[in-house]
Structure 1
């Protein structure tokens, strides 16, 4: 275990048809995409709870903070729930990281390739690095962890583009921070990603 266990923050939308995983709708329809999103969120939370104790995990909710899925996960796993604030993704990530003392990590709920072992590896890397990142194949990242508050990591980043990771690497270098990149991961955004997940990672 790391010398100082980081707090893990998970970001998740409520699985509302037409508002969650919309790029899966051509394959699954609005209802199916919402069901798929709920499956990914459950998988993410279960993985997180295999890596860290429940008191070190917070699920940050969006769209419908009282959605039954969130109640189910809170009751089953005993993790804390908080509402995501307004603002772009960078502002929401930084808000989560600074909401708890000590080192912290943030990940989304649609990246099933981030395993519990990988979460623990990232936690351990924060003992010797200021920043840990899991670059994603699409140009973003699946997890970011920091030892302290570095506002510049999240300012003027082209969120939603394939340049997020590149811009963040440049910012890390400009700030003179030591960073670790333990693995490259992939998330579920498009029909091909969903089929990859069901074919490779989903339980038989």
Structure 2
């Protein structure tokens, strides 16, 4: 028992999971392709991903990179940072997030999961999410387009089976649908201030004008 308690004290309580896509032209930022082409969309995504990973470097806990398919470049990037790299599991986004959160909460007390499309994520936002989990079982980081840029939890049993039913992923209803799906299972939900991510050409222009990305 003493050894178990010592191991518990020695581990990081918190984990940040970054969901990322493999770096293949034509497979990332597809809504930007009509405006900037496949190579241009890949270049934009590389910048977004690097901003997210730079923010992850400052996370006060452990970090894991989860990619949608095997990618030697992403795996090497994770190794250089001292992170675990894993492949996402599930037929849709809800299943993939639930699986990742369930896995993370087997070894950590609090887990945050983010994508790699938001250039505004930073240590302060992560810490705000962790503070919210002091009184909530689930925290969402909203995005202005009706989706969300962050999902966190400190309740392991919630994610054993995918709790997201009928969520209209990739639409302005994603956050509302996700909250509705979870409210029957958890009544302690927290919401962070909305950020914005880069999906459409107008978002890209906004990010360039703000000095967050290079055109």
TM-score range, shorter chain: 0.7 to 0.9
2:184 is paired with a residue of what secondary structure?
A: helix
- Alignment match, 2:181: 171
Structure 1 runs not aligned, ≥5 long: none
Establish whether residue 61 from structure 1 lines up as the match of residue 67 from structure 2. yes
> Does the 8 A contact of 1:139 with 1:166 survive in 2?
yes
Alignment equivalent of 1:41, drawn from 21, 40, 49: 49
Instruction: Tell me, in whole angstroms, the C-alpha distance in 1 between the residues paired with 2:24 and 2:117.
Output: 15
Deviation at 1:82, TM superposition (A): 0.3
Alignment equivalent of 1:106, drawn from 113, 125, 133: 113
- Alignment match, 1:81: 85
Deviation at 1:75, TM superposition (A): 3.5
Q: Deviations over 1:127-149 (max 9, x none)?
A: 21111111111111110111113
Q: Deviations over 1:99-128 (max 9, x none)?
A: 122321211111112222101110121121
> Does the 8 A contact of 1:5 with 1:123 survive in 2?
no
After superposition, the Cα gap between the structure-2 partners of 1:80 and 1:178, relative to the gap in structure 1 and judged at 3 Å, is same
Structure 2 runs not aligned, ≥5 long: 1-11
Q: Deviations over 1:65-90 (max 9, x none)?
A: 2332441x223321110011231100
- Structure 2 length as normaliser, TM-score? 0.84
Instruction: Tell me, in whole angstroms, the C-alpha distance in 1 between the residues paired with 2:35 and 2:74.
Output: 23
Larger radius of gyration: 2
After superposition, the Cα gap between the structure-2 partners of 1:76 and 1:203, relative to the gap in structure 1 and judged at 3 Å, is farther
Instruction: Tell me, in whole angstroms, the C-alpha distance in 2 between the residues paired with 1:24 and 1:117.
Output: 29
Instruction: Tell me, in whole angstroms, the C-alpha distance in 2 between the residues paired with 1:200 and 1:58.
Output: 29
2:58 is paired with a residue of what secondary structure?
A: helix
Alignment equivalent of 1:25, drawn from 33, 40, 44: 33
Deviation at 1:163, TM superposition (A): 0.9
- Alignment match, 1:193: 203
Deviation at 1:14, TM superposition (A): 1.2
1:183 is paired with a residue of what secondary structure?
A: strand
Instruction: Tell me, in whole angstroms, the C-alpha distance in 1 between the residues paired with 2:212 and 2:54.
Output: 13
Alignment equivalent of 1:124, drawn from 128, 131, 143: 131
> Does the 8 A contact of 1:85 with 1:92 survive in 2?
yes
2:54 is paired with a residue of what secondary structure?
A: helix
